[in-house]
Structure 1
Amino acid sequence: MSSPSSPSSWKRVAAVSVVTWLVLMGLILAWGWLLTHPLESSIEPTDDRLARWFVGERTSQLTDAANAGTFLGETIVGASTFTLIGLVVSLVKRTWRPILLVAIIEAGLGGFYFFGTELIPRDRPPVKLLDAGLAPDASYPSGHVATSLVCWAGAVVLIWVYFRAARWVALLLLLLPVGTLLSRLYLGAHHLTDALTSVVYASVWLLVVARVLLPGGRESARPSM
């Protein structure tokens, strides 16, 4: 299998990844502080109204569907699935780049969630929580949404780069993280702003690392050497 082709290539991947992670981490903390301090009185009422609306729509069938959507965002499920996808693509295309992408993305994602929840405590919506065992002040950000997004959007990225014939069909996978997001709101686990924050940072993190690490253009049609 091949890897980034030169020491300078490795250095560029490392530098861009580290700088991007630090910038995103700073923005996550800054935005979280704004949400829980100066913007709390203006944004949280809207968040709470939406949470109460979801409560009014609850049914046993929708709850089952929401539990399924949540399952897709469980750390063990999302990380394992993304790892398996990356490993398969690496083996088929004989390049380390896909599995290295998974490793960098998942490591960074864990850091975002850990520091975000530890440094920015935020109470969950004031509704009955249908996901037992969650810390009451760990609403920000949504780990499930970020995990589901990088898994399935990451799969789309790998298919887009390495399997051109399936590009447009692969876009259907993007419906899965949307389902996870709606599920977390439905269950009362997060405010909308928590979930959307995860969408933004997970998307940027995935796209930047993929851009610097994966081949593009004509290179994607053949194994990286």
Structure 2
Amino acid sequence: MPSAPPAQEAAPPTHLPIRYPDRTLIGVLVTLALTAAILVLTCVVLWYNGPAGPDSPWLQWFIDHRTETWTTVAKGVSTAGDTISVTIYSTLAVVLLAWRRYWEQAILIAIAALGAGALTYFGKLLIGRDRPPVIDHLVTETNHSYPSGHALGSTVVIGILMAVALPVWGRATRVAAVVLATVFVIAVGLSRLYLGVHWPTDVLAGWLVGLCWISFCLTVLPRRIRRGIETRISAA
């Protein structure tokens, strides 16, 4: 009988499999890093018990460069990023998503927006920092200064809306949306300095707390919500 041909050995792989990092681990690390930065900044603010570091000269720079045109722009941008406006944005998004039966995304946005409001309220209450001198104010504010509610709220609401919407948009639309969202959030924070109602460290804290809260929400996202978002992405 003819002998059976020798079995051929399997060809070695031409490339090694790519191991992608765990998104949950990355989210935890980002959240921890932002939390550490917030704690350091807050300790500095409490230590100075007033303007901290470059607060005074940076704020004065904005005051020195005021013009009638820029004042109108700053007031408009500030209004677009205030509590009422971001509440409208998030509410419209929740209603639209619920109407389309994207319950998981609607819940995520609602939780993020409500959390932003709570962080702003209790952060101001806990730190109790006074605002810059009233003589420099171009708008009326009566609550505490740290962190900036405009910076925090706009960061969270715009950021979470981007997190939900970006996966189903095309590349060009995603890039444009990210650029516009980033410019808007930065402009809202800077408008508060121009109007003289916040120290720069207030605005920086608002941005950091907002980013930290977004990272936390996306990291601890319940499995059901994450599955719903992934289903929407695959169906797009």
TM category, shorter: 0.7 to 0.9
Q: 1:65 to 1:28 in 2, by over 3 A?
A: same
Provide the rounded CA distance (Å) in 1 between the counterparts of 2:168 and 2:226.
9
Tell which deviates more after alignment, 98-107 or 61-70: 98-107
Say whether 1:130 aligns with 2:142.
no
Determine the C-alpha separation between the residues in 2 that align with 1:122 and 1:196. Answer: 14
Question: Aligned pair 1:120/2:136, yes or no?
Answer: no
- Distance in 2 (CA, whole Å) between partners of 1:40 and 1:159 is 41
Gaps of 5+ in 1: 1-15
Task: After TM superposition, give the deviation of residue 100 of structure 1 in Å.
Answer: 0.5
Q: Are 2:165 and 1:153 aligned?
A: no
Kept after mapping to 1: 8 A contact 2:152/2:206: yes
Equivalence for 2:24: none
Q: Structure 2: which 5+ runs fail to align?
A: 1-26
Q: Write out aligned runs for 1:72-151 (5 A).
A: 72-92=80-100, 94-126=101-133, 128-135=136-143, 138-151=144-157
Match of 2:146, SS state, is: coil
Aligned to 1:187: 195
Query: How far apart are the structure 2 equivalents of 1:78 and 1:215?
Result: 27
Distance 2:230 2:108 in 1: 19
> Does 2:40 match 1:34?
no
1:38-91 CA-partner distances (Å, limit 9, x unpaired): x558x6251011111111000111111110111122111101112212332444
Within 5 Å, which residues of 2 pair with 1:195-214? Answer: 195-211=203-219, 212=221, 213-214=225-226
Inter-partner Cα distance in structure 1 for 2:54 and 2:44: 15
Of 197, 209, 233 in structure 2, the residue corresponding to residue 221 of structure 1 is 233
Q: What percent identity do the matched residue pairs reach?
A: 28
Q: Secondary structure at the match of 2:163?
A: helix
- CA distance 1:156–1:71, shift in 2 (3 Å): same
C-alpha spacing 1:87/1:162, structure 2 compared with 1 (3 Å): farther
Answer yes or no: is the 8 Å Cα contact 2:102–2:228 preserved in 1: no
> Separation in 1 of the partners of 2:140 and 2:89?
24
**In structure 2, distance between residues paired with 1:85 and 1:182:** 26
**1:207 Cα shift?**
2.8
Matched, 1:50 2:62: no
Counterpart of 2:6 in structure 1 is: none
- Give the Cα–Cα distance (whole angstroms) in 2 for the partners of residues 218 and 119 of structure 1: 38
Task: Give the distance between the partners of 1:167 and 1:214, measured in 2 at CA.
Answer: 20
> Which structure has the bigger radius of gyration?
2
Matched residues, number: 200
- Contact persistence 2:104–2:229 (CA under 8 A): no
Residues 89 and 158 in structure 1, CA contact (< 8 A), matched pair in contact too: no
The CA RMSD over aligned residues, in Å, is 3.1
